[in-house]
Amino acid sequence: MPDFMVMISADESRDAQLRAAEMKALVEGDSAYEEKLREVSAFLDAERLRPSAEGRRVSVRDGEVRVEIGPFGEVALAGYYLVQADSLDAAVKLADECPMAPGSALDVRPVMTGKLRPGKSDAQGRIFAFAVLGSAANEQGWIDVMDRIDASSRDNFPNDRMLGGVRLHAPSQGRRVVASGNQRAIFDGPFLESKEVIGGLFFMRMTSIEEAVRWASETAFVKIGAVEIRELWRS
Amino acid sequence: MEELSRALDDVLRREKSRVVGGLVRLLGSIDAAEDAFQEAVLAAIPNWQARGTPDNPAAWLTTAAKNHARDAARHRRIVDAKAPLLVESDMVSPETIESVSDDELRLIFTCCHPALTLESQVALTLKVVAGFTTDEIARAFLSPEKTIAQRIVRAKKTIEDKQLPYEVPDRAELPERLASVLAVVYLVFNEGHTTREGPLMRLDLQAEALRLARVLCELLPSEPEVFGLYALVAFSFARAATRTDERGEMLLLSEQDRARWDRPTIREGLMALERARRLGGRATYVLQAEIAACHATAPAWESTDWRRILRCYDDLLVLAPSPIVALNRAVAVCMHDGPAAALAAIAELAEPLASYHLFYAMRADFRRRLGEDARDDYGRALDLANNDTERNFLRRQIDSLGRERM
């Protein structure tokens, strides 16, 4: 059965407006949702990320390493569910029941290769998510960027720190679920209008975000594309 | 019938403070409001049994209580300034959400008025706002029921004698009055966290502190410290089940089974903390919540972000210098810079904390890590500790020291 990544993009400033009762409802909704995914054997993994204000984006332009401190825009990657489903439609159906706050969106993207280690939270030390970003004028250009990153980064990972990762199929192979009011709408990909699109996600153990930035700035990820580094919430 | 009593219990827990809050405004005293509420509850039982629980139980109870108060007033032929208000209100009570929230907030601020002693504030808040019975409060605080009952009576009398205004304080007064409300909730939480005597904690008090903090967040959505307190209580509540082992013996944070922490409640705390940060808060409750968040999200004691914790303690010591805070900071110093640095950090606390058991327990732990014989400090801690669970813990430490040396 294929794997799908359901990425939650949240409008962090709207999240910060939530009332206490809404926070409680959202948290309870998430627990119930995870339980439900487990019941139908769809659940593979889920994590939440610390606020983007604590994150970093690293890229190399004109030979110079650029480190940007978050937030990086109005919406930020807030977390994900990794699910297995028979088809994209089945995965979208699962995603459609995922609780989300107003202003959030869910991107359902098929996994191309790779595995995530479940139970990352049991690992010792601090764990950082590295989102690999690529930008291009069109989808084929974006796929080329991701292929180049993939080819030049295969042997890059220090094994003792690596906690798994996935590469995702192009945006056109996915769907987006958007919440507005009580309604939800499902859109087809691609979503290349945003300047940088996630092509993969991996996790590594690091002692600090500075160390994570140092490590990333030496890699092909930032020389060809860019990397957004975010610590996990571990909750 | 059982279903009805459960529905009624739910309503009483959830809605009592709103209903009583409104009634105090109409009737002019907490006593009169509580009496009217009690009558309304008695009227509710047969009525709801026959017709089912109403859609809006709080509104039903408010109306019934008002009717009772009006009848009682007529009966006594008392004409006072409040009477016209009572006569005007009929069976339909179209209260707006704002007015209901304001009533609840007024009630909380009145119960936590600084003109009352802190003990009275806590007892009155648990009784009137949280809907605890006098007996429940007495058991929670291990005091005789009579003492609590007297405390509540005295508090109500003080409110009437001093004519404490039934209102939400204005902007200028708010910070100080809010501090007083938060202190009460914190005390309820703290009492649930480590009771002075007897078993280590009382979950009902902690659960109530969490509920009160949530209510305050709803009522005062732009106050960072309220969200800080909410987060702090949530983090602690999430860990409550793992603070003792199966025999009820105390476990240190470093020994607790983190897999059993209540993840959803931790996430609730993280959301509240994020809200507090965005509101620009970095005062005492927010800082304490930041520290608790570091623990709640650390995969293990050793890999806790001690540097971040130290920074929070440093800020906390600037805002609210206290030897207890300095003592707690020393734990982070020990983990970050080693036990010798921690011992140096607490050297000047020996005098102010001379009768505080945890000072000796911690000094013993630091000395032990340096390979010193710390039995004398453990012994002093044991002599000073009140809580049975803490005493057992200290005894075990002494026993294990003995074994180490053999």
pLDDT for B92 equals 37
Chain B residues with CB under 8 Å of A27 CB are 264-265, 267-268, 271
Q: Average pLDDT over chain A, rounded to whole?
A: 89
DSSP one-letter string for A21-69? HHHHHHHHHHHHHHHHHHHTT-EEEEEEB--GGG-EEEEEETTEEEEEE
- Cα–Cα distance, B240 to A110 (Å, whole number): 40
DSSP one-letter string for B283-303? SHHHHHHHHHHHHHH-SSSTT
Q: What H or E segment, with its residue span, contains residue B119?
A: helix B118-124
Chain A residues with CB under 8 Å of B264 CB are 27-28, 30-31
Are A30 and B267 within 8 A, CB to CB? yes
Give tens-digit pLDDT for A133-182.
998 888 899 999 999 999 988 777 888 889 999 999 999 999 999 987 77
Tell me if ipTM is over 0.90.
Answer: no
Which chain B residue lies closest to A26 (C-alpha atoms)? B268
Residue % of chain B over a pLDDT of 90: 43
Q: What H or E segment, with its residue span, contains residue B381?
A: helix B375-384
Give tens-digit pLDDT for B63-87.
888 888 888 777 665 445 554 444 4
Are B272 and A23 within 8 A, CB to CB? yes
Nearest chain A CA: its distance from B277 CA (Å): 9
Which chain A residue lies closest to B260 (C-alpha atoms)? A235
pLDDT for B95 equals 45
Encoded amino acid at B117, one letter: T
Nearest chain A CA: its distance from B267 CA (Å): 6
Give tens-digit pLDDT for B173-205.
888 899 999 989 998 888 776 655 555 557 778
Q: Which of B271, B297, B302 sits opposite A23 (nearest CB)?
A: B271
Residue B351 in tokens: 């005098």
Q: Which of B215, B267, B297 sits opposite A27 (nearest CB)?
A: B267
Does residue B134 surpass a pLDDT of 50? Answer: yes
Which chain A residue lies closest to B300 (C-alpha atoms)? A124
Chain A residues with CB under 8 Å of B297 CB are 233-235
Are B274 and A15 within 8 A, CB to CB? yes
pLDDT for B86 equals 45
Nearest chain A CA: its distance from B28 CA (Å): 30
The per-residue pLDDT string of chain A (235 residues; one tens digit each, 9 = 90 and over) reads 899 999 999 988 887 788 888 888 989 999 999 999 999 999 999 999 988 999 999 999 888 999 999 999 888 999 999 999 999 999 999 999 998 887 889 999 999 999 888 777 666 678 999 999 998 888 899 999 999 999 988 777 888 889 999 999 999 999 999 987 778 888 887 666 667 899 999 999 998 899 999 999 999 999 999 999 999 886 5
Q: How confident is the model at residue B5 (pLDDT cuts 50, 70, 90)?
A: confident
Determine the residue among A24, A26, A104, A230 to mutate to test chain B binding: the one whose Cβ has the most chain B Cβ atoms within 10 Å. A24
